[in-house]
Chain A
Amino acid sequence: MRRMFSGVVIAAGVLLVSVPLLAHHGAAALDTGKEVTVKGTVTEWIWSNPHCFLQFDAKDDSGTVRNWAVETQNPTAMTQRGWSRTSFKAGDEVTVTLEPVKNGQPIGRLLTVALPNGQKLVAATATTPP
């Protein structure tokens, strides 16, 4: 019974924190289900509607620096997940997991960000492939 209750509580919690993802911009350009991890340096954190996005520089396999832009939800939804306008500043070292677009450009959907102090911010889980 205790296990059942725990399951019910967890299910209710998930229900309560789930919000529609990318409510205005669909996932058609994304390589859905793919998840990559990129380490980089924040260049800008855009706290805006319809969606916030994080920009950061990261070296690719050839050592070339590419400027990534990864999209997430709007400020109200992100506030409900514990993010804020001041979550990042330029120069922050971050480890970002993201769902990339299909065409190889440094664009994608933000999943999580780990900060040097160990804090991990969670934006979403990878999209289930259709």
Chain B
Amino acid sequence: MRQLVFTLIVASVAAFASVLTSAQMKPWNNAGLTGPPAGGSASAPRRDLSGTWDAGNGGIQPTGHVASPFTPRGEEMARANKPGNGTRIVSVTDDNDPLSTMGDPTGFPRIVMYELRPFQIVQTPNQVLILYMFEKRWRVIWTDGRALPTNPDPRWYGYSVGRWQDDYTLVVQSVGTDDRTWLDNAGNPHSTSLRVEERYHRVNQGTMELTVTLDDPLVYTKSWTALDKLPIRLMPNGADLMEMIPSASEAAAYRRVIASQAKSR
């Protein structure tokens, strides 16, 4: 009986996903997939992640993930961040999330860990390019064997290099991120010393898994794995994505109309 129920659950989820997939794949302006990965039985192509991918709801973590305990400096940095979500949530009027209240860039790694909407991967002979629907931003991951820079000027999206660990696993190392960005919507901070490892493992034609490990000894007492084999599904070929750009003027309109009047007594 238990096996039968499990089979029914899998079948019904797959059926719903199939219906939603076909319904959503308009020629233009797709919002992404809402269901969990349906998988794909064909073998994964070798050293190839190209295509448009979607983690569905799993890519959006408004309350943040469990992070490592803070160092004293991390505690101080966290107190300055007033998030609209998570365990240190404040009223929307006091929210100082640089992304949603000021229109600052999401930055890396927040765009991967907490705003991972649909994204496209393009591969060239010496780069892997990731084009994110959220913000319509992109990252360049160099695969030409170069070393990461030492003491780089911080960048909103850092500096990244990648290598194929095997034919189906791309490992990306990143440094040089800008400490004005938050790690998540819960206001967890990071320093410019943050190091991030992303592992993109293609399971088969239709699915890959993403594992992200962070290490920031100035802010956190130990490294931790924020995403552990997050399943990500390949979207149909030809899916055109919506724009999802949190602009500064729209953030200002939100503050003027909603946030400024919502403060609790």
Interface size on B, residues (CB 8 A): 52
- In the assembled complex, how far is the CB of residue B134 from the closest CB belonging to chain A, in whole angstroms? 9
- A49: nearest residue on chain B (CB-CB)? B246
In the bound complex, how far is the Cα of B91 from the Cα of A103, in angstroms? 12
**CB-based contact B12/A69 at 8 Å:** no
**CB-based contact B85/A16 at 8 Å:** no
CB of A46 within 8 Å of the partner chain: yes
CB of B93 within 8 Å of the partner chain: yes
In the bound complex, how far is the Cα of B36 from the Cα of A28, in angstroms? 29
**Pick from B9, B34, B91, B185: contact of A80, CB under 8 Å:** B34
CB of B262 within 8 Å of the partner chain: yes
CB of A19 within 8 Å of the partner chain: yes
Digit string of B207-239 for contact with A (CB within 8 Å is 1, else 0)?
Answer: 000000000000000000000000000000000
Which residues of chain A (74-100) have a CB below 8 Å from chain B?
Answer: 74-77, 79-80
Of B95-103, B139-147, B158-166, which binds chain A? B95-103
CB of A15 within 8 Å of the partner chain: yes
**CB-based contact B263/A76 at 8 Å:** no
Digit string of B24-58 for contact with A (CB within 8 Å is 1, else 0)?
Answer: 10000101101110000000000000000000010
CB of B131 within 8 Å of the partner chain: no
In the bound complex, how far is the Cα of B86 from the Cα of A20, in angstroms? 12
CB of A57 within 8 Å of the partner chain: no
**CB-based contact A77/B31 at 8 Å:** yes
**CB-based contact A107/B261 at 8 Å:** yes
**CB-based contact B263/A103 at 8 Å:** yes
**CB-based contact A20/B16 at 8 Å:** no
Interface range on chain A (Cβ under 8 Å from partner): 35 or more
**CB-based contact A76/B264 at 8 Å:** no
**CB-based contact B34/A76 at 8 Å:** no
Residues of A within 8 A of B20 (CB): 16
CB of B203 within 8 Å of the partner chain: no
CB of A51 within 8 Å of the partner chain: yes
Residues of B within 8 A of A23 (CB): 60, 62, 85, 185
Residues of B within 8 A of A79 (CB): 29, 31, 242
Known: A8-B8, A28-B89, A102-B265. A50 touches B258 (CB 8 A): no
CB of B257 within 8 Å of the partner chain: yes
**CB-based contact B57/A20 at 8 Å:** yes
- In the assembled complex, how far is the CB of residue A104 from the closest CB belonging to chain B, in whole angstroms? 8
Residues of B within 8 A of A102 (CB): 264-265
CB of A105 within 8 Å of the partner chain: yes
Digit string of A15-51 for contact with B (CB within 8 Å is 1, else 0)?
Answer: 1111110111110110000000000000000101111
